Structure formats: C-alpha cells, structure tokens
Amino acid sequence: MSVAGGEIPRCRVDLPLAVLSKMDINRRRYPAHLARSSSRKYTELPHGAISEDQAVGPADLPCDSTGQTST
C-alpha cells in the first residue's frame, strides 16, 4: 500500500464499542418479537413497536474518528 508521505493511516476505532453500538442499533431496528422469521427491512416493520425496556443499552455511543493518523 502506497500512501503519500510514507505513513500508513490508522483508524482509531474502539472495535468492541463499535460492535456493541451496531448491535444496539440492530436491536432497536429489528425487535425480536417483530423481526424474527421475517426478511422485511426495519422501515417495513410496524412503527412505534419498541418500548424503552426492549431497547436496552446506550443509543448514541461516542466515536473517536478524528481522521488523524497515529505513529
């Protein structure tokens, strides 16, 4: 891989946190009681079907994507 300046850019993403965030998003979009055995997109599922106790976990996790390279 050739990069201008000879430095290889590194992505500073907390992978475990990113996975948990994505799982939380999917949990909210596809509640098990509505999406199980269905290939429908989340926009096709009944609206307002998620209550606060069904959507467990933080909704907006912080992201450290400053675009800077580390050395």
pLDDT digits (tens, 9 = 90+) for 10-51: 888 899 999 999 999 988 888 888 888 888 777 787 765 555
| 7 domain residue, yes or no | no
Look at residue 71 and tell me whether its pLDDT is greater than 50: no
> Is 66's pLDDT higher than 50?
no
Tell me the whole-structure pTM to 2 decimals. 0.46
Is position 53 within any domain? no
Q: What is the pLDDT of residue 57?
A: 46
In a domain, 20, yes or no: yes
Reduce the DSSP state of residue 15 to 3 states and report it. helix
Which domain does 31 fall in, by range?
12-38
Per-residue model confidence (pLDDT) at position 3 = 62
Residue 45: Cβ-neighbour burial (10 angstroms; 0-12, 13-18, 19+) = middle
Give me the number of domains the chain comprises.
1
pLDDT value, residue 5: 66
